[in-house]
Structure 1
Amino acid sequence: MKSGKLDKSIEPVYLLLLRRPGITVREISAALAISEARVKECLDVLADLALIRRSWQEPDALMPMNPEKVFEAFLAQRQADLAKQQQEVEELRALGARLVNEYAAEYSYGQGGPFERLTSLEAVRARMDELVAATTGETLAFAPGGPQTPENRAASRPLAQSLLARSVAMKTIYLDSVRNDPASMEHAHWLAENGGETRTTPVLPLRIQIFDRRAALIPINPEDSSQGAILVEEPGIVAALCAFFDLVWEMAVPIAEPKRSRGVDSVSPQERELLRLLAQGLTDEAAARKMGISLRTERRIITEVSARLGANSRFQLGQRTSESGLLSPDTSSMASLT
């Protein structure tokens, strides 16, 4: 216990002096069952705080003092100390907020708002990995700049493989000039072989990447994508970008048609489960709700499965499903799909 520091350990000593003025160190030690050294420490604190003094008549005897003024001064000092500490805390909090903002502006891949500024290629690629992992329906992309560099193709292929392996639809629009580049054409055909769709158009305004029609990456500087990108999740803006993409897609020319299979292996587990639920008589809304997907996604899946199986109606889809043995005998009757 440091001299001058008030704590509860001195209370029993002070109370004993208050009740038995003139009591000695030895008597306090015996009465409180503590060492004399401990008693002396407590007395030192009481003396520093002016809570005791020596008797005028008996110098060896200790007398208690009125604690009111002492505690007023003590509490005032403590309040001043606390106010100073609180000010330091607020200054540190403000400093921390400034540093966090500065860090986020340069390096953070933070999420949560309708707009997110990613100011380096590293930040963009890290965020892309997260967006690809969360995508379940489709990706849409403008890829301007003519023939893609080997670095761009090498960086994009693992992401494309991750999406296509999960039966995520991929639509990419390149410039017509890629048709003169064998490496770019090879990449486009590779996408088609794995289920992706690629088209070309004479001009594209800027690079865009859209995920599940809910988030879009656009460059900070359309003339220099190395400066980073802005992630937009504002529904109105994303919807406008999607409508723009759909318009360009309709006018663009396919490079290669995506590979379509009519066998059992062409249907993913998610698609098979949807067909099974519909075969059981569930409505589109009920099936979508049970699978945890939107009604739009559910209907897109049905459209894509119908195309792969060569079905032009729900009734024909039921026939194709039954003929291909996609479902077990007890649930393969697809009459309810109509």
Structure 2
Amino acid sequence: MLRQSNWRMQELARTLKWPAHELVQAMDTLLAEGLASVSPEDPAAFRAVEPCIALPELLAQSMYEGRSPQPSPAAIDRFIALHERAVERIEESVGGGYRDDASTVIERMVAKAEDDVVLLVPGHVPGGFAFSRPLVDMSLRRGTRLRAVWSSAVFRASPAGVHAQWLAQQGVPPRMVDSVPLCAMIMDGAAAVVVDDAYKSRVVRSAAELDSLCALADRLWERGTAVRHLTRTPGGAACRRPRKEIVLRLLAEGLTDDAIARRLGCSVRTVRNDVAAAMVALDARSRFQAGARAMQVGLI
């Protein structure tokens, strides 16, 4: 599925030579685990979520549920590296045919964001990047500030309302304005992706255009209003992230068990249990390797 943007079930069945019931079962699993989604370009088709977003999410689910991750963290890291090198070779070749849909471009860029991601959303697109839970989870795991500004029209779509409620529960509810003039994602103020009506992407790196986009995003954010019916969980966003995830991040920063316990307000024994579980899940031989591997595979 990584080889092209859109796959209809009939195409996949012909390519894989699988019976229909087996393909439906496999697709249901991929959708449930965040490895695939509905295509924003064709509601009857599906696309693979980029490995740099999907596979760390799969690893996170395994670790937080206390089960051994399959594939292993090392295999995930190798696959992401091999996939990205293959993409680079294809994109550099003349007439390279690798998929370049907007969601793919944005997923690759968000996986590299360090400080701030802004989403400008003029309308609801089923399967679009603005409604991707794995993309949001990746940003929050990495400690990235996430801001979304939605046009009021977006909230009229029932699936968008469900996603808005989920965002509020993560501590990052979207703000609403009357109208958003364009569809875009801005990363760290250093790059942006603008998406047209056909869901084709254009990467923006020029300083002048970036300044204009950032200024627009800031104006819309300041003008945006909170949506009253969205229920927010009390406390900051970090309080709703799994404790093991926060322990991993602090571990990667070099904090001791005692310091982590004080920061989180829990016992040293709890922290040590979390560290031990993380070492097993990440196939790490030391605390340092666990923190380093978590960063390497995009888990934090």
Q: Scaled by the length of structure 1, what TM-score is found? A: 0.41
- Give the structure with higher Rg (CA): 1
**Relative contact order higher in (CA < 8 Å, ≥ 6 apart):** 2
Greater helix content = 1
